[in-house]
């Protein structure tokens, strides 16, 4: 089954904030990072259940899952999402150094 992947406004904001941070250091690196994380999110169209439950899942009334993403060998971000009947809803793109997400963060 193929799912539609949609991002919440919060996820869009955090994605673009991370891009701007990378861009302030290197436009080339920012482009690679952004293209890679978009590919990672697009991969959720197929078998999103392959991703584990997020470590903060027990704080939410739904199954909150995460897809880890990193540049090169280094893990940098977690993509937090929920699987719905025909879509995957991405709620947040969070740096791995950020504290665990709370319901009010999403």
The β-bridge partners of 82 are 89
Q: Where are the domains of the chain?
A: 4-99
Helical H segments across 1-106, by residue range: 9-23, 27-42
pLDDT at residue 106, as a whole number? 86
* Tens digit of each residue's pLDDT (9 = 90 or more) over 48-106: 999 999 999 999 999 999 999 997 788 999 999 999 999 999 999 999 999 999 998 88
pLDDT at residue 67, as a whole number? 97
Please provide residue 21's backbone torsions phi and psi, each rounded to the nearest 5 degrees.
-60, -50
Does the domain spanning 4-99 belong to CATH 3.30.2310.20?
yes
pLDDT at residue 44, as a whole number? 98
Token pair of 50 as six digits: 């392959």
The β-bridge partners of 79 are 67, 93
Q: State whether the Cα torsion 103-96-3-6 is positive or negative.
A: positive
Which tops the pLDDT comparison, 106 or 20?
Answer: 20
pLDDT at residue 84, as a whole number? 96
Which residues, in sequence order, are CB contacts of 84 under 8 Å at separation 6+? none
Which tops the pLDDT comparison, 29 or 66?
Answer: 66
């Amino acid at each position: 089954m193929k799912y539609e992947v949609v991002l919440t406004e919060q996820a869009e904001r955090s994605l673009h904030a991370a891009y701007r941070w990378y861009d302030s250091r290197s436009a080339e690196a920012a482009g690679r990072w952004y293209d890679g994380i978009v590919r990672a999110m697009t991969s959720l169209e197929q078998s999103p259940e392959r991703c584990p439950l997020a470590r903060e899942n027990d704080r939410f009334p739904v199954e909150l899952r995460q897809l880890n993403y990193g540049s090169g060998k280094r893990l940098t971000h977690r993509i937090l999402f929920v699987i719905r009947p025909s879509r995957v809803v991405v709620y947040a793109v969070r740096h791995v150094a950020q504290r665990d997400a709370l319901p009010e963060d999403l």
